[in-house]
A and B are shown apart, each in its own frame.
Chain A
């Protein structure tokens, strides 16, 4: 059965102007395909009984109640909201790039939608979610809450985003360490453009504070295969006076080599610090980020 999320590729994004509707569609479409409902937590506090339906784990059948009623009930528990998740969304200028294959969706827009989906999903699971937007400094910090109303606050903030400034990931992350004093899960949605060493130092700093980190690295397809042919002036999205007129064919190979080197450094660094690095391109379905997140959660259990 095809995932509903498969349908919701960036191509269809135009239909969803409302982030909440969008996130709901993606997350619920995604979750309906899973055997075990992610809506239910695993906490010890009893919540309610419900009728057994085929597909439920038989271990969760309340055999005592079966003895009394001769009917199969599933015993559900209130999940413990032990997860504090903070989404760190990169709003720097470089996130504003949009190529021909991403259907007018900038990397930032893609990142915003990813963040919305993640927020929606986690709030559905009664996890607390916070949001940090930043470029060269922290622009907005919404501390984590688990209330369903919190969704509005986060989505409202996400909709206001407009990427334009330079990035300084290293210093921003260092700055963040002080603010996020309780350990939790950090979801960084960024292109990670910048100095790798600085970045790794700051990530190490997070790790030192016992944060668990997953990075969704957003790529535009153009950035990965450099498809330009004719003479092009590349103007920096972050610094107005930084432009270079070049023959792209001439430096494509060098660029790709440099790119691979960069990705390799990142991968190695993340590996070293046990950080999950999930590369995403803007032409991929959004549900991939959710799948990646869930896989991560399952591993963590």
Chain B
């Protein structure tokens, strides 16, 4: 408000002065017709005084209001005005794949970028700007807040949407970190998102309150605003997931790939073409119908002619508004063969008397059956003393069958082998040096062995104390094959002797694969470095159980060993935002590896030395899809970054829900950048009320005229 002009309000005294002067500087008239005048005065005396008072008030108000108008007053509430002071602003820009939803006016993401550009463009000079992209793992557009809005706008124009599902909680946390480090006295946090039901419903009410408290606990409490972009869309078809056996796959072996498709819309969709591709080449096509809100599964059988890294992809061809979720890919590693080293702790020259004889047969049934088909697994049986670095290097899995103990050097080699991604199965037996196992191999939980071998239970030959595998649903990928009863029943075998494996309850890294009826674990697993160690409580031959004599033994050991072998580590199917990591064995020098991203861009990463191998790590996997890493050996490794398909349901928060969310977060709901700018102007410059005052002034002038006319019409 212009205070100097407010002095004009003193002009309100003028009518008062005029009134008083008028009353004092009157003219005297000697009047004859007093009897006429007197009666009028007598009747209207009180009313004259009241009328004069009212008129005087109105007349005094006119200059007062005029001065008020000229001073151009603004309403600011209780706050002081900031004027054009710079601001610290954090924009959370949702670039998750649901923002790719298209409409006639463009995608939601395009609108979000447009809004962000508008907001940033209007910030006052010297403002501090940070943009956090919320798709997948929250990512900052710049490492540090930027003071040049043009730079931010330029970079904004180049970013792309279609990243993984938003983790709004993580994004808000990131925003809090950025806000805490900003410098200006006024702080803003604006979330530009489609506000999908899913993104926010997963955040519990308590968490929202915690977020609010975090905002409020900042030294300078920022203004939080929510701007919803896009309209709710219901029609959408997505390929939700691919499911296939995760164990190792050999050349020519059949892969049963199940694609889960979902219709998120309320209407029936007919003739959806679903294409199955292997390494980008169409393998088969099917057509199906999707009922409203229905989920369906399509089975695609496929096989691979070459070993190595392959990509399978399922695409639903529709014209729904969101195309990003119509494809789902998976990286599959096909093995030529899996070399398994069987270390026989109790060898025998007699057939099937050796400790590993049954196992060897079970793993290579085709070779033993002299069938033309090739076994995926290739076994080599050695004695304990033969275990050396050369053999270990060639093998994917090592089985220690009833091995009494290893030399320190062998143990060291084995540890390195597992650490670099190898797999070891340790089976029990009567030859075991329990002390060595406990002291050297278990090492209080620090060694290779998942748990220490406990007391030996059961008696050979006595059926009364025998036990069996507990019938249960198997969660572990190695045994889930037996969840289908037609694939065999593990509980049919009788186990007569076994070691008690005491799994400490607090050891979360140890997973029990199967239990015995007696309540003791049969198989436990522990990750060690990049590799895995599985420990079996009983022997792998027929001495302590009749397992090897049962038909179920073959698939069980096949599943167990191939699963252990195919534990590709690091994994090739990752979540968006996780690093795509490839271990390149047989390479000791640093090299540059090129990576092709899902949007076709070529990036390069330098490998780092990790033990005896090189490690290539590519971090920028925010966008779901296929990342292809080309190794120096021209071999390609495929990574598929996947994201939650919960965002495929394109329902958005309606007005009420958004208002409730804003309420929880003490935020303001914005409908457009214009609304924000208007609010901002209001905050900066206050609300101009002179127009109202002017209207009142004109009203008063008019009122004065009317009153004057009206008051002249007094009672006679």
Interface residues of chain A, those whose CB is within 8 Å of chain B, are 93-97, 107, 191, 193-195, 220, 223, 228, 230-239, 242-247, 249-255, 257-259, 261-262
Contact = CB atoms under 8 A, between A and B. Distances in A.
Contacts of B25: 231
A193 B30 CA distance: 15
Contacts of A238: 32, 34
B529 to A, nearest CB: 106
Nearest to A107: B32
B36 interface: yes
B305 interface: no
Contacts of A233: 26-29
A254 B27 contact: no
Nearest to B39: A258
Q: Is the interface of A mostly helix, strand, loop or mixed?
A: mixed
Contacts of B23: 231, 245
Most chain A beta-carbon neighbours within 10 Å: one of B25, B37, B41: B37
Contact of B32 (A94, A195, A228, A247): A94
Contact of B35 (A193, A228, A249, A257): A193
Contacts, number: 109
Given A232-B29, A233-B26, A258-B39, 20 more contacts: A96-B30, A193-B35, A223-B32, A228-B27, A232-B26, A232-B28, A233-B29, A234-B28, A235-B30, A235-B31, A238-B32, A239-B34, A245-B23, A246-B41, A247-B48, A250-B52, A251-B44, A252-B712, A255-B36, A262-B36
A107 B30 CA distance: 13
Contacts of A251: 37, 40-41, 44, 48, 714
Contacts of B370: none
Interface string B153-175: 00000000000000000000000
Interface of B: 22-23, 25-41, 43-44, 48, 51-52, 711-716
B491 to A, nearest CB: 114
Contact of A94 (B27, B34, B38, B713): B34
A289 B25 CA distance: 40
Contact of A231 (B27, B31, B33, B40): B27
A262 B27 CA distance: 26
Contact of A230 (B27, B712, B715): B27
B37 A250 contact: no
Contacts of B31: 97, 234-237
Contacts of A107: 32
Contact of A244 (B33, B37, B51): B37
Contacts of B713: 253
B33 A193 contact: yes
B26 A191 contact: no
B51 A96 contact: no
Given A231-B22, A244-B41, A261-B716, A250 B28 contact: no
A266 to B, nearest CB: 12
Given A232-B27, A246-B48, A254 B40 contact: yes
A232 B27 CA distance: 5
Contacts of A94: 32-34
A94 B713 CA distance: 27
A252 B51 CA distance: 15
7 closest pairs, A vs B, by CB? Answer: A94-B32, A257-B716, A97-B32, A231-B26, A234-B31, A254-B40, A254-B714
Nearest to A108: B32
B36 A250 contact: no
A159 to B, nearest CB: 22
Nearest to B31: A234
Given A230-B22, A250-B48, A257-B716, A93 B36 contact: no
Contacts of B51: 250
Nearest to A224: B33
A259 B48 contact: no
A231 B40 CA distance: 16
Contacts of A220: 32
Contacts of A96: 30, 32
Most chain A beta-carbon neighbours within 10 Å: one of B22, B36, B39, B713: B36
Most chain B beta-carbon neighbours within 10 Å: one of A191, A237, A251: A251
B41 A235 contact: no
B32 A237 contact: yes
Contacts of B43: 254
A253 B33 CA distance: 15
Contacts of B715: 254
A47 B713 CA distance: 65
